A and B are shown apart, each in its own frame.
Chain A
Amino acid sequence: MCIECGCGRPGRPKIDGKPAKLTFAPSDRKAPHVFAAHDHEHRTVDVHQSIFAANDRKAAENRALFESRALLVLNVVSSPGSGKTTLVQRTIERLATDVKTGVIVGDLETDNDARRLRTTGAPVVQITTGTLCHLDAEMVARAYAELPSEGLRVLVIENVGNLVCPATFDLGEGLRVALLSVTEGEDKPLKYPPLFSFAQVVVITKKDLAAACEFDREAALASIRRVNPAAKVFEVSSKTGEGMDAWCGFLRETLDGGRET
C-alpha cells in the first residue's frame, strides 16, 4: 500500500487490464512468534535504511535502462483534471514529425486515458492501480516491459492525478514535470510544496482560461519560485496551442543536448 497516505490496501494494480504481481510482499505481521524470556542481552542492529529503499533501488534500475536506450523519460504529475492527458496528446502530435513518443498512463480505474492517447498513434500502456494513489518504480518497470518500445525517443509517464503521494516516488524518470492549471489557484505550489519542489519543470496549463479565472500570473510564478527557484516554467494552452512551441522546443533541445537532471 501507499506508504504516504495508506491507500491501496485491498487494491491490486493492473497493467492493460491484467493483474500485476504485487510489488512488495504483504506484511507477515500476523505470523506467530514467541516472546523470549529476558535472560539474554539486548543487541543493537544498525539499519540506516530509508523506508523508500525498495522503490529507490528499482527506480535506479529503470533509470539505467532508460539511459542505456537514450530515452527521455518524463514523469508528469498534477492534481486530477489539470490537463495532463490533453497536454500529453498535443505534445505527442507536435513531436510526431521526427520524435516517436510512448506513454505509460496511471489511473485508479478505466482505460479512458489510454484510449484517448492511442488516437495519436503512439504506443500506450495503461496501469490501473485499483485504489493506489500513485505509480511506483516497479509498476513502471512492468508496464515498460509491455510497451512496444522500438524507436521510441520519449517516454511520458502520466502519473495518477494526486498532488501528494507521487512526489515521494522516484520512477527512474529523467525529468519530473508538474502541472498547474490556471483554474486551480495561484498558491497551489505553496499548499503542496513537495510535488512542485521536486520537479525540474513546471507547466502552467489551460492558459486560454486565464482571464475567465482571473488568474494572477505573477502570483503563480512567485509561488512556484518560492518552493522551487530552479524550476523551468512553461505556460501553455493545449487547446489553442499557445506556448506549445516553447514547450516542445525545450523537449527537442533536451533530447539533442542529453538529459537535464
Chain B
Amino acid sequence: MHEMGIMESTLELAERQARRAGGTRIEVLCMRVGRLTGVVPEALEHAFAALSPGTLAEGAALEVEYVPGTFLCIGCAGEFEAESMHAVCPACGEPGLGTKKGAEIQLLSLEVS
C-alpha cells in the first residue's frame, strides 16, 4: 500500500505544477526513487495506472529513476552504495551510516502540453 499513497501525493504535486506552467495535459512524469524507501517498482506502476485516470496525467508515461542508498563506512570512512540498510562496506565489512541519499522520493520533471 505504500505505493498508492506515494503516487497520490506525486500526482497532486504534478497536477499543481502542470497547471502553474499552463499545461492542460501531462505527457511524461519523471520521478526519482531511492532504493532504501522500499518502493516496489511494479506496485508504483500499478498505483500510477490506478490513480492517474481522471487527472492531468491520464495516459502519461511514467519514468522512474531508481537510485541506490549511499553510506559512510564506520570502519574505513569510505563511501559506499547499497540497495538495503543492512549493507556492509564492501572494502572492510563494517556497517555504514546512512546519508539519506537513497531515501528520497522526488518528482523530478514533467513534460506538459
Known: A29-B11, A229-B97. A36 touches B5 (CB 8 A): no
Q: Decide if A218 is an interface residue (CB 8 Å cutoff).
A: no
Q: Contact: A226 with B112, CB < 8 Å?
A: no
Residues on B with beta carbons closer than 8 Å to the beta carbon of A229: 74, 94-97
Q: Decide if A40 is an interface residue (CB 8 Å cutoff).
A: yes
Q: Decide if A18 is an interface residue (CB 8 Å cutoff).
A: no
* CB of A211, distance to nearest CB on chain B (Å): 28
We find that the number of chain B residues with CB closer than 8 angstroms to chain A is 48
Q: Decide if B64 is an interface residue (CB 8 Å cutoff).
A: no
Contact of B23 among A6, A30, A43 (CB under 8 A): A43
The segment out of A74-82, A189-197, A202-210 that lies at the interface is A189-197
* CB of B31, distance to nearest CB on chain A (Å): 9
Cα–Cα, bound, A2→B9 (Å): 9
- B14's nearest neighbour on chain A, judged by CB, is A47
Known: A29-B54, A30-B54, A194-B85. A5 touches B1 (CB 8 A): yes
Q: Contact: A50 with B106, CB < 8 Å?
A: yes
Q: Contact: A45 with B112, CB < 8 Å?
A: yes
A-binding residues in B (CB < 8 A): 1-2, 4-6, 8-15, 17-18, 21, 23-25, 27, 36, 38, 51, 54-56, 74, 84-86, 88, 94-98, 100, 103-113
By secondary structure, the A interface counts as: loop
Cα–Cα, bound, A45→B12 (Å): 15
Cα–Cα, bound, A237→B107 (Å): 44
Known: A47-B13, A227-B95. A3 touches B113 (CB 8 A): no
Q: Decide if A250 is an interface residue (CB 8 Å cutoff).
A: no
Q: Contact: A49 with B107, CB < 8 Å?
A: yes
* CB of B82, distance to nearest CB on chain A (Å): 11
